[in-house]
Structures are given as C-alpha cells and as structure tokens.
Amino acid sequence: MAEPRTDATLMEHIEAPSGFRQLVGFKLDSWCCDEAVVSIVVGPRHLNRSGNVHGGVLTTLIDAAGSFAGCFTPICGNVRKATTLSMAVEFHAPMTTGRIVARGRVTRTEGPVFHAAVEIATAAGAALATGQVRYRYQPGSETPDGVPLPRGPERRGTTLG
C-alpha cells in the first residue's frame, strides 16, 4: 500500500472550503491508495426533526469516503476526480451526538469506473450505516497518476447563504 499523501499543495487543495463541505463540516482524516477515512463531529445542524443524525449526512459521508478512496494519487502536484454514478445505503442505528467516522475502500475498478464500500461507525466502533457506491473517473483521472492540480485562485464559493 502507498504511503498517505502529506504534500502541502495537495492538502491545501483538499482542505480548500467548498460551500457544501463547509456546510456539512466533514474532514479528511487519512488517505492512501484505495482507502480513505472522513469524519464529522455531530452538531445541531446534522440532526433531523427526530433528534437523530439525518440520513443525508450519513449518505454524504459515504459518498465522500468512497470518492476519496478511489481518487488517491502518489504523484505530488496531481489530483484525481470522479463523479458518483450510483449509491446503495443501509442505515443500521440512530445517533444523536459524538464523532462519526466513515471508512471507504475501493473494491473493484473496471476501466473508468470504480466501486467502493464504505462503513460508518461511531468513534467507539458501533455500526451506523454502510454503503456501496459506483463512480466514473473524470477525463484524465483514470490512471493512478491523475492530472496536474489546477493553479490559480480558488473558484469554489464559500458563501453558505
């Protein structure tokens, strides 16, 4: 397995705030070839009207962990991008507070398409949800080398309004 990426340029790109990521508040905890871990600390904005973490939050974490797992590249200064094609999610238990951890791993790659399995649990390890996701690499991202990181000013908006 490749070592986790730590180069500053890539991490700045990954951590650059997108409006949706900023709204949800998840972060990338670890990332290497075919594996990724994302997490979130549950707050009031993550709860549904029953007081449990909203299924959309769990689905978002499944999508993020699976996508990151398939988009790792060992080449400093390059990135890989993908688009979600389909997703199946199973919810196992409700949660109201604490930290949620989503662990994604690539299970199969077929040309420009890859599949990922994701497990979501509490920080203590209690199962919350699982997901199976299928993605298509964006042009240039099909190979492990990826494409050069875009240069220039950040074009993603961060306004939450």
Which residues is 141 bridged to in the sheet? none
pLDDT tens digits, 34-80: 999 999 999 999 999 999 999 999 999 999 999 999 999 988 888 89
* Average pLDDT rounded to a whole number, residues 88-103: 97
Q: What do you get for the CA distance between the two ends of the chain, in Å?
A: 41
Please check the confidence at residue 149 and state whether its pLDDT lies above 90: no
**Joined tokens for residue 160:** 């939450």
**Joined tokens for residue 59:** 């689905």
Please check the confidence at residue 132 and state whether its pLDDT lies above 50: yes
Answer whether 121's CB lies under 8 Å from 101's CB.
yes
- Res 21: pLDDT: 75
- Res 46: pLDDT: 96
pLDDT-wise least confident of 21-25, 84-88, 111-115, 117-121: 21-25
The domains of the chain, with CATH numbers, are 8-140 (3.10.129.10)
- Res 1: pLDDT: 47
Provide the whole-model pTM: 0.86
